[in-house]
Structure 1
Amino acid sequence: MTLASDQIVAHPQFIPALRIYSSKLRGQFDQSPRLSRMLASHQRWLLSQAAFALQLEYDPAVPGSGLTTTNLREIITSNNAASRNTVLNFLDQLLSYRFVRIVGDPTRRPKRYEATEIPTQAMHQWLVTNLELLDELDGGDRVATLAARPDLFRLIQPQVARRACLEPQWLEPPPRVALFLWTEAGGLVMDELVRRAMELAPDGDGYNIGRIDARLMAEHFMISRTHLQRLFRRAVETDCLYWPDGDRNHCIMRRDFLEEYCRWQAIKFSIVDFAYEKICGPVRPGKLDPRLGAVREA
């Protein structure tokens, strides 16, 4: 039975697991900064998931199948996640950075694309990282199963993408979450903030994330310092972040903002769990860490 989003967000280990998850995503960014930077908004996330699913679903017996501009546009524009021109620009950028290549006769229409090695490895690692968090919550064997049967990736990822592109609550983040996720590289910034949210502030109203050096963060994530400073200013105005008594060395992430973000992320993790179980069947609990508390039945 798939873990529901409310079960995930209520789990006592979810926030600690999400911190670890965010740290792993940061590590993946360091491995491939240009690719991660390109995909670090919610719109680009949806585009990349849908594009990869179309590639994996390619069937030579079905004319027009696979990753084409037309097929990607049909998925993305049907839920208003992006415009036709955004889809075209997205594929053009991937092609120019050699994250995709044209396969078959390049003069034929529609052109069919496929991912190159770097994004293929990145998407596989993304799925593993998500399964690791789910295993952490219930002691399951998802990661071990995928390691033993890596071919299952080709079946699971399209299920994730198709369901994610149809889930209204995932498509439209809450306004304060959207402030980050709909902006350029906002996903990278959000992962960094969550990664740092380790210690409750003395007033118990939020998590101390330490000093925010906009210049260094902007350089690392290859974004405009002005854009980042504007983002943080709006985050303060909407009560996502604050600096107690003007102390610039201790930025605080509001507790209710982190909880809001967790509820939204839990929707995605439930989608991943659904996709995994649809392909692989029920999860078999493994050896549980006694700190994890109650888990579901297999």
Structure 2
Amino acid sequence: MAYTAEQLAGNCSFLTSVRFLARQTRSMFDAGPRLARLLASHQRWLLTQTAYALHLEYDAREPTSGFTAVRLTGRITAHKVASRNTVLAFIEELYTYRFIVHTPGDERRRPRHFEPANVSHQAMFAWIHANLAALDLLDGGERAAVFQANPSLMRLVQPRIARHCLEDAAWREPPAQVALFLWTEAGGLVVDNFIARMDPEDAGAGKLLVGRVETRALAADFMMSRTHLQRLLAKAAQRGCVGWHDEPRKTHLWISRHFVEEYCAWQAVKFAYVDEAFEWATAQIDALTE
């Protein structure tokens, strides 16, 4: 049986899985910074996952299926994730940086279909593999190994994750404190950095030590403006999400346990859908081979 979000959030070891994924996300960023930024804000995460799912769901018998501007716009705007203009600008950016290409033969047709470039396929596979590996930490499972050995599972797993996450308001609309980071450019990278570095054993007064944070270096690292990062941290500090051990120098940061718990509960929603999709997909494959 796949985990439920409630079971994951209530598991005392789940923070270990969340921190593992945060570190893996950082590794993916180091390997391809511009592509990794597509998953670094929640809006872009939803756009990316939905676009990829549309591509995998393409049916040659239905010319209007697949990843087209109209299809992506329709699915995204239906859930009020982004405006039509934002979706079109997003597609243009993907195409400009060659993360997507025109489907061969579709260059002059309407509707024009797009498909992910090889680098995008590799990144999505790595993201799902990392999530499955994080789940394996909870129970010693072999999800990641099975997925690695059976890459065809991707076609079943990813669209199911993307659809469930887009349709579920619990994931689509993060809690206020989490949304403060996740709806901003590169905010997801900032949170992952703090989660990966914090000391889960040191929770004096509900504050978890992150360590030394230099905003200039961190902003440059994640290709964001220092002013933007400082404003983000100032807003988070006003809400009690983060703070500094050494005011007014502001070099050593802490993150509140309440924020971490809220973040983990939100991540549990997505992890549950990843686990459910993997279990469902492997059952489909097993049924075909019997």
1:124, distance to aligned residue in structure 2 (A): 0.3
- Give the Cα separation in 2 of the matches to 1:202 and 1:167: 32
Instruction: Identify the residue that residue 192 of structure 2 maps to in structure 1.
Output: 191
- Taking the aligned partners of 1:66 and 1:202, their CA distance within structure 2 comes to 48
Q: 1:59 to 1:174 in 2, by over 3 A?
A: same
3-state SS in 1 of match to 2:106:
coil
- Give distance in 1, aligned partners of 2:221 and 2:246: 28
Deviations 1:123-152 (A, max 9, x none): 000000000111111222211211221111
Distance 1:220 1:10, change over 3 A: same
Deviation at 1:248, TM superposition (A): 3.0
Contact 1:135 1:142 in 2 (8 A): yes
Q: Report the AA paired with residue 118 of structure 1.
A: V
Residue in 1 aligned with 2:79?
A: 79
2-side partners of 1:153 and 1:38: how far apart? Answer: 19
Counterpart-to-counterpart distance in 1, 2:13 and 2:270: 17
Point out the more displaced range, 68-77 or 174-183: 68-77
Partner of 2:133: 132
Q: Deviations over 1:62-83 (max 9, x none)?
A: 1111100111112111111111
Deviation of the 1:224 alpha carbon: 0.6
What corresponds to 1:118 in structure 2? 119
Q: Structure 1's 207 and 156: CA in aligned 2 closer, same or farther, altered over 3 A? A: same
Query: Is the counterpart of residue 203 in structure 1 residue 243 in structure 2?
Result: no
What residue identity is the alignment partner of 1:115?
A: P
Structure 2 counterpart of 1:261: 263
Deviation per CA, 1:44-101: give whole Å up to 9, x if none.
0000000000111111111111100111112111111111111101100000000000
Moved more, 36-45 or 93-102: 36-45
Change in Cα spacing, 1:152 to 1:202, as seen in structure 2 (3 Å) is closer
The equivalent of 2:154 in structure 1 is 153
Report what 1:32 is aligned to. 32
Tell me the secondary structure at the aligned position of residue 24 of structure 1. helix
* Cα offset, 1:25, TM superposition: 0.5
Match in the other structure for 2:244: 243
- Give TM-score scaled by structure 1 length: 0.91
Report Cα offsets for 1:18-39 as digits up to 9, x if no partner.
1121011000000000111233
Give 1:80's aligned amino acid: K
CA contact (8 A) 2:242 2:255 kept: yes
RMSD: 1.4
Aligned to 1:292: none
Q: Where does the alignment leave 5 or more consecutive residues of structure 2 unmatched?
A: 285-290
Partner AA of 1:277 in structure 2: E
**Could you say which residue in structure 2 is the equivalent of 1:141?**
142
Deviates more, 1:223-232 or 1:14-23: 14-23
Match of residue 278, structure 1, among 253, 256, 280 = 280
Deviation of 1:250 after TM superposition, in Å, equals 2.5
Instruction: Find the aligned partners of 2:88 and 2:158 in 1 and give their Cα distance.
Output: 22
Q: What corresponds to 2:57 in structure 1?
A: 57
User: What is the deviation of 1:202?
Assistant: 6.2
163-172 or 198-207: bigger deviation: 198-207
- TM-score, normalised via structure 2 length: 0.94
Alignment-mate amino acid for residue 144 of structure 1: A
Checking the alignment, whether the CA contact within 8 Å between 1:40 and 1:184 is kept in structure 2 is: yes
Q: Are the counterparts in 2 of residues 197 and 209 from structure 1 also a CA contact under 8 Å? A: yes
Distance 2:230 2:246 in 1: 19
Q: Which residue of 1 aligns with 2:287?
A: none
